[in-house]
Amino acid sequence: MSAESAKENNKTNAYNFKTGKGKIEDFGKKSPRVEQNLGKISLTEKQSRILSFIKEHSQEIGFPPTVRDIASYFNISAKAAHDHIKAVAKKGHIRLLAGAARGIEIVNRSGETQDVPMVVIPLLGRIAAGKPMLAEENIESRIALPSSFMPASGDMFALKVKGSSMEKAGIFENDIAVLKQIKDVNVEIKNGDIVAALIDGEATLKTYIKQKNNIELRPENPDYQPIIITSRDDVSIMAKLVGIYRKYN
């Protein structure tokens, strides 16, 4: 899901699963089983820690981790993480969905998957001049995201990121930017926030910097020039970045 360092709070509300925070023994070493009364489906200690991480991530962030997230958290290789996940799935504790980066469903003891509440928001394309931003003709499609990913209130929409102007903030081409529509830029936006600005019908993500006589829309890539807005320019700050949703192929 956004900007790193000072902007990392835009990714989710606080991402608590830092690289190397999880503790797991050497992948090659065997570990004892827990809950041995479960017989063949009992997990090893390593597998149990992997499953606990998947559950905690799903509860706190709103969706399951990727293989890369798991590998990073436990400081193991992606292959080791993948092998652990397959072992946990084989024992029936999770279900894997082919072709999906976050295709992990948690299965309870009765064999049923645990549903995550979802919210459907519009994915906008080019925005027609003179039309309300969320007018039907501006909507390319709709996407479903976990409700825990969203603020408690506000009109939400999404944009597909184009180009590399924000890559130093951890935002890359084809990411899905999840945004909250704003009504008053002076109240709802502060310096350093990442915003969506509407320029000639095209939305662009930039870092908002208010200066004495103008506003700077700053790219997070030295290969791009900032956009300076004065009172004479027809530019609208329309939304604030809430998070980034990304699929891994």
The contacts of residue 231 (CB under 8 Å, 6+ apart) are none
Specify whether 77 is catalytic: no
Q: Which of 2, 58, 72, 165 is catalytic?
A: 165
Asked if residue 24 lies in contact with residue 76, where contact means CB atoms within 8 angstroms, the answer is: yes
151/204 Cα distance (integer angstroms): 22
* Nearest residue to 180 (alpha-carbon basis) of 210, 161, 158: 158
The three-point CA angle 140-144-146 to 5° equals 150
Bridge partners of residue 199, in order along the sequence: 202, 235
Specify whether 206 is catalytic: yes
Phi-psi region of 175 (alpha: psi -120 to 50; beta: other; left: phi over 0): beta
Residues that are catalytic: 165, 206
